[in-house]
Amino acid sequence: MAFIGLALGPLVLLSMASPASSCNKQEKASLRFLAGISQDNGLTTLWQNDTDCCEWEGITCSRDGVVVEVSLASRGLEGCISRSLGDLRNLQSLNLSHNSFAGRFPSELLASSSIVVLDVSFNHLSGALQPQESYSSVPHYSRLQVLNISSNLFTGELPSAAWEKTSNLVVLNASNNNFQGLMPSSFCINSSSFAVLDLTHNKFSGSIPVGLGKCSALRVLMAGHNSLSGPLTDELFNASSLEYLSFPSSGLHGVLDGARIMNLRNLSHLDLGGNMLIGEIPDSISQLKRLKELRLYHNHMSGELPSALSNCTDLETIDLKFNMFSGELSMFNFSNLINLKKLDLMGNNFTGTIPESIYSCRNLTALRLSGNNLHGQLSVRIGELKFLAFISLSFNKFTNITNSLQILKNSSTLTTLIIGNNFKGEAMPEDETIDGFQNLQVLFISGCSLSGKIPLWISKLKKLKVLQLQENQLNGPLPAWIKSLESLCHCPIWTYQTTDSQGGSQQP
């Protein structure tokens, strides 16, 4: 589970356990649940009845000879999870993840007074979790701290009664299911240490519950790819311990409130992409000194890049593609962003030339500026980006393709080069000195109306997998050497396209 490090406390207790001399008959009987499953992948043969169950594979006992851990992840097990596991009164950790268990989830496990870590992720469990009355027996002293039920087939609502009685809950991952209804918000009513909530990829609806703002220890909140509505509630910004806030593709609208976002000074990851946000990036973004990832792609945001953004010197990813940002891009100073690795400004309305300051981002691995109104020639300084692997400049107004290729050919880390729909009416360079690109795998030079022939230098690109030269004015026969490009994909290549403001298509 992501962020499992937040729940290391209970695991320390388990690490103190050691093989014991014997286990009692009742616990051995409870562990015989393998007899009722359809596929045990040979595990039953390892669990011999005449041997001590504390010595069975996947079983850990305490020094007192009681079972405290059952760890059977990725064992190829199929069938139903037995209720008998709930009879293990001292069980602290149960890990049945990455198997093929199906059927309902036994409520006895969630109601256990001893289990600290419970992981049944990546199975085929289905149906609704038991209704609220099933949890009336859950003791207020429930020790459950980590619950991972992600990547199953659960439906219905998340029963709030269960969380109200788990006073020690730290981590809940219920992502990748089919839960529906309103997002629950009662996690921190009794658990002041609740820190991680992942509800990504479900069918929750309604607005973000205001109760989450009361979770003073909440560090990770992920609930993207649901069917939410409304804005980011003001109360949410009261959760000042938040480090990871992620609501991509969730139907949210409104503006990014500059006055409120200042409360989240611990934020390192902000992902609000794929929503309906409007307005500008607030200048107060500069207060987020720990910010590493900023993802606001596919919204309706506008304005220029605020100069205050350059004060977020820990930034590693800026993804603002498909918005309505504008202004002279060279006016933004990238020099302070020395940790930047990925910059994606595709599908906006930036003008001017590629800023010289961007070459100070020496750790840059991916640069995408396609679908803007940039012009000019590439600078030789792009060669200073020694880790650059992906560059996309298509659908702009760049000139001098020969100069561009001569500059880029020595980028030994470059694997993807997309420069189509530029260099209108120029000639395809056939200069044999273009002899670099030793690691290039993807080359797009389409839509440029280039004249000439398919150049010989392409024959030297031995790792090339994808080549697009369509919508040019090249002539002559298809060269015989094309067969020597053994890595070239001899199949239809489907590329992602969108529509620009003039109604034309855009490639990545």
Q: Which domains does the chain have, with CATH numbers?
A: 1-206 (3.80.10.10), 393-508 (3.80.10.10)
Residue 281 predicted with pLDDT over 70 = yes
CA atoms 311, 390, 500, 250: torsion sign: negative
pLDDT band, residue 21 (cuts 50/70/90): low
- The answer to whether residues 119 and 95 touch, using CB atoms and an 8 Å cutoff, is yes
In the chain, pLDDT over 70 holds for what percent of residues?
Answer: 89
Residue 351 predicted with pLDDT over 70 = yes
Residue tagged 């792009």 (tokens): 382
Helix (H, G, I), strand (E, B) or coil at 329: helix
pLDDT digits (tens, 9 = 90+) for 433-483: 788 899 999 999 999 999 999 999 999 999 999 999 999 999 999 999 998
Residue 397 predicted with pLDDT over 70 = yes
Nearest-angstrom CA–CA distance, 403 and 391: 16
Residue 495 predicted with pLDDT over 70 = no
pLDDT of residue 141: 55
Helix (H, G, I), strand (E, B) or coil at 127: strand
| Alpha helical stretches, state H, 103-148 | 107-110
231: left (phi over 0), alpha (psi -120 to 50) or beta: beta
pLDDT of residue 136: 57
pLDDT digits (tens, 9 = 90+) for 188-233: 877 889 999 999 999 999 999 988 998 999 999 999 999 999 998 8
Give all strands (DSSP E) within 310-456, no chain letters.
Answer: 317-319, 324-328, 342-344, 349-352, 366-368, 373-376, 390-392, 397-398, 416-418, 442-444, 451-452
The verdict on pTM exceeding 0.85 is yes
pLDDT of residue 354: 97
Residue 35 predicted with pLDDT over 80 = no
Among 39-43, 149-153, 346-350, 478-482, the least confident range? 39-43
Residue 4 predicted with pLDDT over 50 = no
Kindly list the distances between the CA atom of residue 185 and the CA atoms of 210, 324, 359, in Å, as whole numbers in the listed order: 8, 34, 45
**389: CB partners within 8 A, 6+ apart:** 365, 366, 413, 414, 415, 416
